[in-house]
Amino acid sequence: MIQRLVESVPNISEGRDQSVISTLLTDLERIPKVAVLDVHIDSDHNRSVFTIVGEPEAMEAALFGLVRQAQQLINISEHHGEHPRIGAVDVVPWIPIQGVTMEDCVRYANELGGRIGQQLEIPVFLYEEAGNVISRAKLEIVRRGGLADLDRRMQAEHDWKPDYGPPIFHPTAGAIAVGARFFLIAFNIVLQSNDLVAAKTIAKTIRTSSGGLPAVKAMGVSLLSRKLVQVSMNLTDYRETSLRQVFNAVNREAKIYGVEILESEMVGLVPKAAWDENLLHDLKLRPMKSDPVIEYRLEQASIF
């Protein structure tokens, strides 16, 4: 029998307080049949991204526990960071890995969302394949304008009532987006510049919504601790736009401003089909502590 495995990449609105991050990780690592494959912490974004894989039932327990613990440890009303966010745990996707379908993941998203809404009283918005309202199925639409704008929409617009939970954000946890989606690659390119206008213009030029590359979301952000800027991207389908293609596009646009690429970084892991060893050099990737390919990490992980 094929083992059923799903992946989730919860985004946590904390990238500076190591004690909070450690507590959340310790609790996750105690859950049987779940493995933490990667942790990415960014102090400028004030955000941590956990890559976890496990059996569906165990993953629901792990993810619910993560949201409940973050509700107690993180106060979103006091949060400051460069990355858009709506909650203490901002987003929780379900991604089919092995022995499960996208339809299964939609069901898991609904089950977890319903539990979060009812037991933790956090408004839940379903997105991507799990989205019930087409006009807000994209994550960037849910997060547009941050928590304050989301709260306004919840109060004023019928189509913005949450899928689960109360129609008002939680005082510490805010709101949360729970969804089901295809494998996404999060990829950042750091420019040798502090020109935020240039970074934002490059991001606008290359992203799909502005007529750029297919399956690319992008934004320009400041890295205040380094006095540099970054083009932060999500490749929502690496089969349509590859890492090399998006790197070359950013490099081409950066040269218009006389700017060089300093380095790039992966946030989380990549599937083997999207990777080759030449990318380490070609993309000026920051040195990584371990292999970035999810299949190889899975081989090393102990799920049971």
Residue numbers annotated as active site = 83
Residue 211, phi-psi category: left (phi > 0), alpha (psi -120 to 50), beta (remainder): left
Q: How far is CA 30 from the centre of its chain?
A: 23
pLDDT at 40: 94
DSSP H/E element including 7: strand 5-8
pLDDT at 288: 83
Q: Name beta bridge partners: 177.
A: 91, 125
pLDDT at 2: 67
pLDDT at 151: 92
pLDDT at 244: 98
Q: What is the mean pLDDT of the chain?
A: 95
End-to-end CA distance of the chain: 15
Question: Whole-angstrom Cα distance, residue 34 to residue 50?
Answer: 12
pLDDT at 82: 76
Identity at 275, one-letter amino acid code: W
DSSP strand E in 45-116: where? 47-54, 89-98
Instruction: Establish whether domains 5-180 and 185-300 are of one fold.
Output: no
- Tell me which residues of the chain have a pLDDT lower than 50: none
Closest by CA to 58, choosing from 114, 6, 9, is 6
pLDDT at 303: 64
CATH class of 185-300: alpha beta
Question: Whole-angstrom Cα distance, residue 183 to residue 160?
Answer: 27
Locate 96 and state its tokens: 């089919």
Choices 3.90.550.10, 3.30.420.40, 3.20.180.10, 3.30.990.10: CATH for 5-180: 3.30.990.10
Closest by CA to 166, choosing from 198, 119, 221, 205, is 119
Kindly report the number of other CB atoms within 10 A of residue 197's CB atom. 10
Domain extents for the chain?
A: 5-180, 185-300
Question: Whole-angstrom Cα distance, residue 6 to residue 34?
Answer: 10
pLDDT at 114: 98
Between helices 18-29 and 56-73, what is the axis angle to 10°? 150
